[in-house]
Amino acid sequence: MGTVRNALLAVLGVDAALVTAGLVGYPAFLDQRGSVAYLVEPIALLAVYAVVVFAATRSLSADRARVLRVAALVGVALGVLEMVNISVETFAGLSGATNLATTAPLILGPFLIWSVVAGWAARATGSLRLGLLAAVWCAMVTMMIGVTYGFALALAAPGRLAQDLANDPDYLRSGWTDLRAFVLANSFDNGFTHLLGGLLVASVVGLVGSLVGTRLARRRRPRLDRPDAAAR
């Protein structure tokens, strides 16, 4: 698990570096009202993620190591799906029902899979806590990959994002006069909401999946008061 932990911490470090690069590359960002909050929020969540990574990998039983490893692999696959979703939203130019039909499965699909991962872990180990951890861990990996891609996109293609945000209601209501600065703010805010939302949603769907998984685990165990169980 040391390799997985180090990889996740490296991704978190890259995310922090991308936020810093955005600020260094366009210091006028700080001239906009409320810009500091947009900067602090994702950094704070990245720090929370780092704490969770250390805490989850500090003391590992065989069951926990297996659960975290599988959850991380699923999270990587879902992270690639998140990158596809971001790319579709940014470059496909879809709108209305077409956009909803295309992106909704990409957004909602990971929620279902986080719950399934939790159910698998809880059933395999008989532990509600490990089931919940599996969902949260899987969500963290998913969102870290998606957020890294989103931050990189804001730095690599600010002009393309500016085109999409020029008439965005949030930009028009913000009172900001610098569209490029708003592109960074939007990216930082999306990163924050994805990181936070991942933890919150995974906690809910993970609990549901874990409850189902532990129930299935109890059904799988033979009852000692049954004659056929005693015979074994």
pLDDT tens for each residue of the chain, 232 residues long: 688 999 999 999 999 999 999 999 999 999 999 999 999 999 999 999 999 999 999 888 999 999 999 999 999 999 999 999 898 888 876 666 676 676 777 788 999 999 999 999 999 999 999 999 999 999 999 999 999 999 999 999 999 999 989 988 999 999 999 999 999 999 999 999 999 999 999 999 999 999 999 999 888 665 434 444 444 4
d(CA 17, CA 81): 23
Q: Is residue 39 part of a domain?
A: yes
Q: Is residue 167 part of a domain?
A: yes
CA distances from 82 to 51, 123, 148, 194, 227 (A): 23, 27, 11, 11, 51
Domain that includes residue 59, residue range: 2-220
Helices 2-25 and 179-220 cross at an angle (nearest 10°) of: 160
Q: Is residue 227 part of a domain?
A: no
Q: Is residue 76 part of a domain?
A: yes
Amino acid identity for residue 35 in this structure = S
Q: Is residue 31 part of a domain?
A: yes
Structure tokens at 144: 């870290």
pTM (two decimals): 0.89
d(CA 56, CA 150): 26
Q: Is residue 228 part of a domain?
A: no
Q: Is residue 231 part of a domain?
A: no
CA distances from 27 to 24, 32, 79, 163 (A): 6, 10, 30, 21
Helix (H, G, I), strand (E, B) or coil at 69: helix
Counted domains in the chain: 1
Q: Is residue 232 part of a domain?
A: no
